């Protein structure tokens, strides 16, 4: 068992730390404190690896059976991170995990101001307008990290990436992805001033998502579950693309799936760049990028 | 308001029909009855369109404000489908929707025996082994329909597609997708006997998912959230492919995102078929399918 003998066990659910941890499970508590809560060995390990600003560790010593978990807790305490010990029932009532692992942390939120986000030449970013499901958003953050994108730009009423459901879906990718929150108007102005390629996803777009060039720096932009992209952001795009739907009964894909398909197209075009001036062609000479990809994927937006 | 004057309003929560509807929200109730429950106008409309075997309609007349919803209810009653009227509070307590629309239906489950699933020449199928999240499974069914795949094969301990969370995520795609449930062993034997291309996804696979041919009939196979594909199914695959992960902190994508990326690769290769005997090449002559795609994507499995 994890040895935390030097601090006393919290057994009172009304203890101020427990109140604080509970409040971080609510949007209000996170907004007021600028912090968030993570749980589980994997997330704590990734937070340490990524040098995330951990304010507080908390463990339930009698629940934390994993040697790795115990080692992480020791390491954090030795480096001076405050560590609280919780009685198992207090921890269990607090935990949102199906199988509580007995370890969690309070971490400071880390937002990048839009003005400080200066996409460099080889960058890909993912942007989401009004994506309301925290699970979808968390999955998108995981995909963005996996595809080597630099970060995620949350536009409008997009969910809170520090929501527990979103966090769980990120699988720890949040600690290394840059996070920006902004409005549609600011985002449109920023994308113009940065002269980047802005590829927006829309079921009604004329062009197939594989027909355009994701010339870097590129931002892949998806709209919310209900209404897709706003017309304001549609008109800010360098290209609007659609993921073809083979059957008429459906009009769209799940937004996290759509984002995954698009950022992997961006990834793949970057990994195997072909001549920027010529469209990709198949052996039979069919154009895979349409008649004039340069017009569609030119940098600059608007 | 929907006129359902010919039947009396159910106001008692202990009414047998209410008990039945409740039981269909549980795995046991669905297994015993062979039916499932759908809710909402979109789902009912798609069920009618797809000619799904609707056993029972139920409406909360005072909640069903939508003219489309009222029209659907009238149409079903006129065609002889039994229709029950529920008091609004009974409906509300039953409903799992955030905003109950006042209409739902009981539908017979529709499973295809594995032996009856004979993939035809142009077919693509999706298969899932031990995918445990109903939300992920429902999303995969939606993607499968969108990409024009014929159906989905549920292997091992894969979640119930008729679970309310799965159903919601399908967006109605379940009514048109073929559904098969089987074991890993039976699936492996079936895929061999059908001489189809079986492309399995594995983070440790040597080949990139874009390097192989998804020669039809093809089955795209993904493993569960925790352990991926079993070794039994890995060895049944014609090719194992990985979706590249650009950053070392993550080892995989969300399974529904991975399935989406793979079935759209299958879709795209089918839509723009190039010479089967030559690898796809870029203008500069780079191979996009690796040195010998024929060895990797030959039909036949095992």
Is B4 among the domain residues?
no
Number of domains in chain A: 2
A172 and A157: one domain?
Answer: yes
Other CB atoms within 10 Å distance of the CB of residue B96: 14
> Which residues in B lie closer than 8 A to residue A253 (C-beta atoms)?
142-143, 146, 260
Provide the CA B259 distance to its chain's centre, in angstroms. 11
Q: Any CB–CB contact under 8 A between A288 and chain B? A: yes
CA of A292 vs chain B CAs: smallest distance (Å): 15
In terms of CA atoms, which chain A residue is nearest residue B208? A268
Residues facing B240 on adjacent strands: B200
B228 and B243: one domain?
Answer: yes
A93 and A62: one domain?
Answer: yes
Among A129-138, B149-158, B287-296, the minimum mean pLDDT is found in B287-296
A24 and A164: one domain?
Answer: no
What DSSP string describes A60-81? Answer: -TTT---HHHHHHHHHHHHTT-
A75 and A127: one domain?
Answer: no
CB B152 within 8 A of CB B182: no
Q: Is the pLDDT of residue A294 over 50?
A: no
B71 and B210: one domain?
Answer: no
Is B213 among the domain residues?
yes
B143 and B284: one domain?
Answer: yes
Nearest to A212, CA basis, from A197, A190, A194, A229: A197
Interface test with B, best of A48, A146, A213 (most B CBs within 10 A): A146
A48 and A158: one domain?
Answer: no
Q: What is the DSSP letter of B160?
A: P
Other CB atoms within 10 Å distance of the CB of residue B31: 11
B73 and B199: one domain?
Answer: no
Is B1 among the domain residues?
no
Provide the CA B49 distance to its chain's centre, in angstroms. 17
Domain enclosing residue B171, as ranges: 114-296
pLDDT of residue B68: 95
Q: Each residue of A168-214: pLDDT tens digit?
A: 999 999 999 999 999 999 999 999 999 999 999 999 999 999 999 99
What is the share, in percent, of chain B residues with pLDDT greater than 90? Answer: 83
Query: In chain B, where do the E strands start and end?
Result: 9-10, 35-39, 54-59, 83-86, 103-108, 124-129, 151-155, 178-182, 197-201, 207-208, 218-222, 239-242
> Which residues in A lie closer than 8 A to residue B50 (C-beta atoms)?
249
CB A37 within 8 A of CB A21: yes
B98 and B126: one domain?
Answer: no
Other CB atoms within 10 Å distance of the CB of residue B116: 9
- Grade residue B6 by pLDDT with cuts at 50, 70 and 90: low
Residue A83: its H or E element: strand A83-86
Average predicted confidence (pLDDT) for chain B: 88
User: Do the Cβ atoms of A246 and B147 come within 8 Å?
Assistant: yes
CATH number of the domain within which B279 lies? 3.40.1280.10
Q: Each residue of B252-298: pLDDT tens digit?
A: 999 999 999 999 999 999 987 543 433 343 333 333 333 333 333 33
Is A2 among the domain residues?
no
Cβ burial, residue B224 (10 Å; 0-12/13-18/19+): buried
CB B228 within 8 A of CB B266: no
Q: Which residue has the tokens 């983070």?
A: B203
Q: Which two tokens stand for residue A242?
A: 């659609």
B85 and B147: one domain?
Answer: no
CB A145 within 8 A of CB A177: yes
Q: Is the pLDDT of residue B94 over 50?
A: yes
pLDDT of residue A248: 80
* Among candidate residues A91, A108, A125, the one where a domain is terminated: A108
- Within B95-183, residue ranges assigned H as helices are 134-146, 164-170
Is A3 among the domain residues?
no
Mean pLDDT on A51-61: 96
Q: Is the pLDDT of residue A31 over 50?
A: yes
Is A136 among the domain residues?
yes
Is A48 among the domain residues?
yes
Q: Each residue of A213-224: pLDDT tens digit?
A: 999 999 999 999
CB B3 within 8 A of CB B132: no
Residues facing A259 on adjacent strands: none
What is the share, in percent, of chain A residues with pLDDT greater than 90? Answer: 83
Q: Which two tokens stand for residue A29?
A: 């508590």
Q: Is the pLDDT of residue A250 over 90?
A: no
A249 and A134: one domain?
Answer: yes
* Among candidate residues B108, B128, B145, the one where a domain is terminated: B108
User: Do the Cβ atoms of B145 and A288 come within 8 Å?
Assistant: no
What CA–CA distance (Å, rounded) separates B155 from B145? 19
* Among candidate residues B108, B136, B161, the one where a domain is terminated: B108
Is B301 among the domain residues?
no
CATH number of the domain within which A27 lies? 3.30.1330.30
């Amino acid at each position: 068992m994890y040895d935390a003998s030097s601090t006393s066990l919290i057994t009172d659910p009304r203890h101020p730390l427990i109140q604080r941890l509970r409040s971080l499970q609510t949007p209000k508590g996170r907004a007021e404190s600028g912090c968030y809560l993570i749980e589980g060995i994997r997330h704590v390990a990734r937070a340490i690896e990524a040098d995330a600003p951990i304010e507080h560790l908390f463990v339930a010593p009698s629940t934390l059976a994993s040697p790795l978990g115990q080692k992480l807790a020791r390491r954090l305490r030795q480096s001076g991170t405050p560590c609280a010990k919780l009685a198992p029932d207090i921890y269990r009532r607090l935990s949102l995990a199906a199988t509580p692992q007995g370890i969690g942390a309070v971490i400071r939120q880390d937002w990048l101001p839009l003005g400080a986000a200066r996409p460099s030449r080889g960058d890909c970013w993912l942007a989401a307008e009004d994506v309301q499901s925290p699970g979808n958003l968390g999955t998108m953050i995981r995909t963005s990290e996996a595809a080597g994108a630099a970060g995620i730009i949350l536009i409008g009423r997009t969910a809170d990436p520090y929501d527990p459901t979103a966090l769980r879906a990120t699988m720890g990718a949040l600690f290394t992805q840059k996070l920006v929150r902004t409005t549609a108007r600011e985002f449109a102005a920023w994308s113009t001033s940065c002269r980047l390629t802005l590829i927006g996803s829309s079921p009604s777009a004329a062009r197939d998502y594989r027909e355009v060039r994701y010339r870097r720096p590129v931002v892949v932009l998806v709209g919310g579950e209900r209404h897709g992209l706003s017309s304001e952001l549609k008109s800010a795009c360098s290209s609007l693309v659609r993921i073809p739907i083979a059957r008429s009964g459906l009009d769209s894909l799940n937004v996290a799936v759509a984002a995954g398909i698009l950022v992997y197209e961006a990834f793949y075009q970057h990994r195997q760049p072909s001549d920027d001036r010529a469209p990709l062609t198949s052996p039979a000479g069919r154009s895979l990028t349409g008649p004039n990809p340069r017009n569609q994927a030119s940098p600059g937006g608007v």
